[in-house]
Chains A and B, each alone.
Chain A
Amino acid sequence: MERSASGVEHEPQEDMDSLVIAGEEVGSRLIMGTGGAPSMQVLREALTASGTELTTVAMRRVDPSARGSVLDVLNECGIRVLPNTAGCFTAGEAVLTAKLAREALGTNWVKLEVIADEHTLLPDPIELVDAAEQLVDDGFVVLPYTNDDPVLARRLEQIGCAAVMPLGSPIGSGLGIRNPHNIELIVERAGVPVILDAGVGTASDAALAMELGCDAVLLATAVTRARHPARMAAAMRHAVEGGRLARLAGRIPKRRYAQASSPFDGIATSQ
């Protein structure tokens, strides 16, 4: 390790610190969603500012009146597409949607989302595990959106999922990470990447996810519904990078009392 004139320590391996999912390198630890953007132009600017290299889309019935395609935006930006199964309530629906996505988009990667109800949008763990098993067996690279449950995360990994994506809080809520302890437990035991998915409201939430040891953050609403989406996207990019560096650097332990940062020796005395 060398110390430069600025006092910053350089660890050569940090340059190699890339996210790897299913043996493939993903250039940014910020994975974006596309839902909620008011226009394709705003989406394009936000995605560019975020620096993301992997971005989710949903699969829906074709709309003959639709103008402009989110796929065109991703292609123009050189961003890899990650289809999701958003809106599916059963394993059957999710599996069919994943297969349609594979056919339509030519990728066997899928963000698996099986929700229990429209009110909370929380994952249905029973249906989720069922769908994950079917899709892994069918050769998919499965990235499941899951509850912040360490046991469920482990089960999903054992099934053969390529990552686990625990929620910080409900989708679109902006409530941040409600149970950081559980996220830490998931990180400690995981042998696949842990991607904090859902609930991020602002940059500090994304930074916290990375400080807790998550390998990446997936977010959409916090950017697409921000007053200035591109500016928030840039904030998220820096937050993810900053949080990752802090995690690698190793935070100091928390202490009950102060620890002086200036020496006590040699203090001037007065009468």
Chain B
Amino acid sequence: MKVIVNGEPRELPDGASVADAVASVTTAGSGVAAAVNDEVVRRSAWEATPLRDADRLEVLTAVQGG
């Protein structure tokens, strides 16, 4: 299936979870948050939350700003 991760299309195996997709862009153990189709998914729920074809996943962290 194809999932949009941070604006980029990415091929992931069927049944891939939010945790799998996040791991494809960062290895950070903290300071990262994810949203699927504009809904925040708590880190504790990443493993148990499956992605579906065409889902939009945003993975954000803190950067210099403000």
Contacts of A83 in B (CB 8 A): 62
B16 at interface (Cβ–Cβ under 8 A)?
no
Tell me how many residues of B have a C-beta within 8 Å of chain A. Answer: 23
Contacts of A103 in B (CB 8 A): 33-34, 40, 42-43
Are B59's CB and A62's CB within 8 A? Answer: yes
Q: Which of A87-107 contact B (CB under 8 A)?
A: 92, 96-97, 99-105
Chain B minimum-CB-distance residue to A59 = B60
Report the separation of the CA atoms of residues A61 and B21 in the bound assembly, to the nearest whole angstrom: 13
Contacts of A36 in B (CB 8 A): 64
Report the separation of the CA atoms of residues A161 and B14 in the bound assembly, to the nearest whole angstrom: 44
Are A57's CB and B62's CB within 8 A? Answer: yes
Tell me how many residues of A have a C-beta within 8 Å of chain B. Answer: 38
A81 at interface (Cβ–Cβ under 8 A)?
yes
Q: Which of A77-133 contact B (CB under 8 A)?
A: 81-84, 86, 92, 96-97, 99-105, 111, 113
Chain B minimum-CB-distance residue to A32 = B66
Are B65's CB and A33's CB within 8 A? Answer: yes
A253 at interface (Cβ–Cβ under 8 A)?
no
Are B61's CB and A60's CB within 8 A? Answer: yes
**Which one of A69, A81, A96, A100 has the greatest number of beta carbons of chain B within 10 Å?**
A100
Are A96's CB and B38's CB within 8 A? Answer: yes
Are A69's CB and B66's CB within 8 A? Answer: no
B20 at interface (Cβ–Cβ under 8 A)?
no
B35 at interface (Cβ–Cβ under 8 A)?
yes
Are B31's CB and A71's CB within 8 A? Answer: yes
Q: For residue A11, give the distance in angstroms from its CB to the closest CB of chain B.
A: 34
Contacts of A105 in B (CB 8 A): 31, 62
**Which one of A33, A35, A58, A66 has the greatest number of beta carbons of chain B within 10 Å?**
A58
Q: Which 5 A-B pairs rank lowest in CB-CB distance, beginning with the nearest? A: A58-B65, A56-B66, A104-B33, A103-B33, A33-B66
30 A-B pairs within 8 Å (CB atoms) are namely A34-B65, A34-B66, A57-B62, A57-B65, A58-B63, A58-B64, A58-B65, A59-B33, A59-B62, A60-B63, A61-B7, A61-B58, A61-B60, A62-B25, A62-B59, A69-B31, A69-B62, A70-B64, A71-B61, A82-B66, A84-B66, A96-B35, A97-B60, A99-B35, A100-B34, A100-B40, A103-B34, A103-B43, A104-B62, A111-B66
- Interface residues of chain A, those whose CB is within 8 Å of chain B, are 33-37, 43, 56-64, 66, 69-71, 81-84, 86, 92, 96-97, 99-105, 111, 113, 218, 220
Known: A43-B64, A59-B61. 8 other contacts (CB 8 A): A35-B64, A57-B62, A57-B66, A61-B7, A86-B66, A96-B35, A100-B33, A101-B62
